[in-house]
Amino acid sequence: MPNLNIAIIGASGGIGSALVKLLSNEPNHIIHAFSRSYIKNDSKNVHVGKIDFNDESSISAAAERATQHFPLDLVIVASGVLHDTGMMPEKSLRDLSATNFEQNFFANTIIPALVAKHFLPKMQRNQRAVFAALSARVGSISDNRLGGWYAYRASKAALNMVIKTTSIEIARRQKQIIVVGLHPGTVATKLSEPFQKRVPPEKLFTADIAAKQLINVLDKLNTDDSGKVFAWDGSEVPY
């Protein structure tokens, strides 16, 4: 994919930083790497920027900055939360709290939706472009066999609805844009760290491998795929 103008949101994360590294290996790509915390990257074709996600004008300013010279060809939202200080995914109804729900919905649903609001209008109008957000298989309602993880599951299911709804609206005016969710598999990052013990080694991807697999999936998509969620191996994840 040469000569693409790309934005990665959540570029400080395990998967986000691996995507920036992988995509910046192509010297003709321009990568805008956004995150809430400061990141350092000396690559010539990487432009880092901070976004204050609590301030919507900061998101729109980032979209403006990334498209000063060219529209965007690829946007990947790689931010998200599963656990944090004082927050672990719930095992049972007993563990539910409004604060956990708010944190999960803010990071996993509201941020990608606001990024879509401000970045999609600045993407290519007359040629193929892809907007992808990192979702998760546990956000699939029909695939839920184990239960638990209420707030994370619900926030990713809601993200999938945002993806589907956005794909319908965008198809009316930017017909060549593909809007999808991605399940990266289990990836060895901070997010999965407390849960890695139960994962067989061959099913725990490094962030570098996960990034490669996700870009391979995105490369193969066409407009009929818009609105859907795809796993790291290219298979569709049911809603």
Taking phi over 0 as left and psi of -120 to 50 as alpha, with beta for the rest, 10 belongs to left
Instruction: For the CB of residue 127, give the shortest distance to ligand NAP in the complex, in Å.
Output: 27
Q: Does 218 bind ligand NAP (CB under 6 A)?
A: no
Q: Does 79 bind ligand NAP (CB under 6 A)?
A: yes
Instruction: For the CB of residue 216, give the shortest distance to ligand NAP in the complex, in Å.
Output: 16
- Long-range contacts of range 136-145, CB-CB < 8 Å, 24 or more positions apart? 136/80, 136/183, 137/183, 137/231, 137/237, 139/181, 139/229, 140/229, 140/237, 140/238, 140/239, 141/239, 142/238, 142/239, 143/237, 143/238
Half-sphere exposure of 142 (CA within 13 A, CB side): 5
Instruction: For the CB of residue 77, give the shortest distance to ligand NAP in the complex, in Å.
Output: 8
Q: Does 12 bind ligand NAP (CB under 6 A)?
A: yes
Q: Phi first, then psi: what are they for 76, rounded to 5°?
A: -125, 125
Which DSSP letter does residue 201 get?
G
Specify the residue, 80 or 227, whose C-beta has the smaller distance to ligand NAP: 80
Specify the residue, 124 or 237, whose C-beta has the smaller distance to ligand NAP: 237
Instruction: For the CB of residue 69, give the shortest distance to ligand NAP in the complex, in Å.
Output: 25
Q: Read out DSSP for 15-78?
A: HHHHHHHHHHTSTT-EEEEEESS------TTEEEEE--TTSHHHHHHHHHHHTSSS-BSEEEE-
DSSP β-bridge partners for residue 9: 34, 77
Instruction: For the CB of residue 49, give the shortest distance to ligand NAP in the complex, in Å.
Output: 13
Mark the segment that binds ligand NAP (CB under 6 A) among 61-69, 140-148, 180-188, 216-224.
180-188
Mark the segment that binds ligand NAP (CB under 6 A) among 86-94, 170-178, 188-196, 223-231.
188-196
Q: Does 36 bind ligand NAP (CB under 6 A)?
A: yes
- Interface with ligand NAP: number of residues (CB under 6 A): 28
> Binding ligand NAP by CB under 6 A: which of 53, 131, 230, 232?
53
> Binding ligand NAP by CB under 6 A: which of 4, 10, 29, 113?
10
Report d(CA 236, CA 239) in Å as an integer: 9
By the criterion CB under 6 A, which residues form the site for ligand NAP? 10, 12-16, 35-37, 53, 78-82, 106-107, 111, 134, 136, 183-184, 186-187, 189-192
